[in-house]
Structure 1
Amino acid sequence: MQGWTEIETPHGPVRAWRAEPPGPSKGAVLVIQEIFGVNAHIRSVAERLADAGFVALAPSLFDPVEHGVELGYDDAGIQRARALVSALGTDRAMDILNAAAEKLQMEGLRVGAVGFCWGGSLAFLCATRLSLPAVGYYGARSMPFIDESANAGLMFHFGADDPSIPQADIETHREKQPQARVFVYEGAGHAFNRDVDPKVYNEAAATLAWQRTTEFLEDQLR
């Protein structure tokens, strides 16, 4: 079962896409969007997590700025998305994610996070600021926060051919977060998990990263 719900946050009500597992849950996972909103791809990620046995909740982080954002992957969409990220700010995004995590915790669920692109960096902050086990996919905005200490399990996925995350940045992740599991996928670029976009999708990398992600979440949330 899946559909839109609403969560109360310090910045007003925010919609969230929720997907339920078919049987008993293994815990709950915050699904943290790319810059393009909680679009069909992010909703499908939530549904895949539900199929894997987790309650999945994907907050629509831009709602305090603009309600119901779903953008295309073209230049216009990217420019609009970057403006929305700037208008929202990191602190408000984290407030929303904290409210979503607390909602799930009040239901008696152990909570983790998985995020993509901008959401990958926010997932990292879930580990440092919210003490949630987290998986970050190709988070290119983590470097300003890389010295923060993680208080929970942490996993990173990077594409070896991602121009937004140079090898030096990946090595800095290893150095500054030595407890984290860091995986680099040869032949993969940015957004390699985005299976609706053939320009960036890398099936081999996405499949292996997904296996590692679900195994990590099962272990961390048991």
Structure 2
Amino acid sequence: MQIELTASDGHRFSAWQDGPADATRGLVIVQEIFGVNSHMRHVCDSYARQGFAVVSPALFDRAERGVELGYKPEDVQRGLALRGQISDDAVMRDIEAAAAALPASAARGIIGYCWGGTIAWWGATRSGSFKAAIGYYGGGIAGTRGETPRCPVQLHFGEADTGIPQSDVEAIRAAQPGVEIHTYPGAQHGFSCEERGSYSPADSALAEQRSLAFLGKHLG
């Protein structure tokens, strides 16, 4: 269901909430550059079925409320434009508000995709709210790879991702030898999104299996 949250600077924004209210594990699920659209709600539902309480904040609400985009080239351009209007500091304020909306009894993790993959990395390095962080194909991770994670991190990258060269992945490995990094031969950007042409069911299933095992280890 849709709920409304308030960030520390007073900004009010929407979020999608799912999963049991008495869950012992909680996840902030961070959107791509397409808003909290049907794909993100599908991801929320998937983790809620696994027993997680989940909150997915509508980060675009700082620029425009109610944005849900598809995956056509014009959607990509609009998503990039909206993202450019929102500061990294503002994003983290919304992430903290989303984390606070999870059940108080739940061990908290963060998982994100695309833009959200980078934000999940920042959730590990710029926040103390999480016990585990997972990023899928986050293009901004390499640029901030020198930051120090405060919790265990798992990252996923497609080896055929034209936007994230393998040299970036290797740079992250070199800077963060303690981070668990998985790459997927032949997989493209967005390989875990069932609405994209780049969707790879086998790679998506393997990545989800690894993610659930990682969260089981670190969130209990």
TM-score by length of 2: 0.95
Q: Which residue of 1 aligns with 2:11?
A: 12
1:116 aligns with 2:113: yes
- The structural deviation recorded for 1:134 is 0.5
Deviations 1:46-65 (A, max 9, x none): 11000011001100001121
Separation in 2 of the partners of 1:88 and 1:11? 15
Tell me which amino acid in the other structure corresponds to 2:50: A
Q: Which residue of 2 aligns with 1:88?
A: 86
Structure 1 unpaired stretches of 5+: none
**Structure 1 runs (4+) greater than 6 angstroms displaced:** none
Structure 2 unpaired stretches of 5+: none
Q: Which residue of 1 aligns with 2:188?
A: 189
Q: Which residue of 1 aligns with 2:161?
A: 162
- Secondary structure (helix, strand or coil) at the match of 2:106 reads coil
Identity of aligned residues (%): 37
- The structural deviation recorded for 1:13 is 1.2
- Secondary structure (helix, strand or coil) at the match of 1:88 reads coil
Residues 169-208 of structure 1 mapped to structure 2, 5 A cutoff? 169-197=168-196, 199-208=197-206
Tell me which amino acid in the other structure corresponds to 2:119: L
CA gap of 1:146–1:178, structure 2 versus 1, over 3 A, is same
Separation in 2 of the partners of 1:64 and 1:99? 14
Count of matched residue pairs: 217
Deviations 1:104-139 (A, max 9, x none): 26x222210000000000000000011321100000
Deviations 1:60-109 (A, max 9, x none): 0011210011012111111111111110121111110011112326x222
Separation in 2 of the partners of 1:41 and 1:146? 28
Q: Which residue of 2 aligns with 1:66?
A: 64
Q: Which residue of 2 aligns with 1:49?
A: 47
- Secondary structure (helix, strand or coil) at the match of 1:140 reads coil
CA contact (8 A) 1:11 1:92 kept: no
Tell me which amino acid in the other structure corresponds to 2:37: N
Tell me which amino acid in the other structure corresponds to 1:12: H
Q: Alignment RMSD, CA only?
A: 1.3
- The structural deviation recorded for 1:11 is 4.6
Tell me which amino acid in the other structure corresponds to 1:217: L
- The structural deviation recorded for 1:24 is 5.5
Q: Out of 209, 215, 218, which is 1:217 matched to? A: 215
- Secondary structure (helix, strand or coil) at the match of 2:85 reads helix
- The structural deviation recorded for 1:42 is 0.3
- Secondary structure (helix, strand or coil) at the match of 2:62 reads coil
- The structural deviation recorded for 1:194 is 0.5
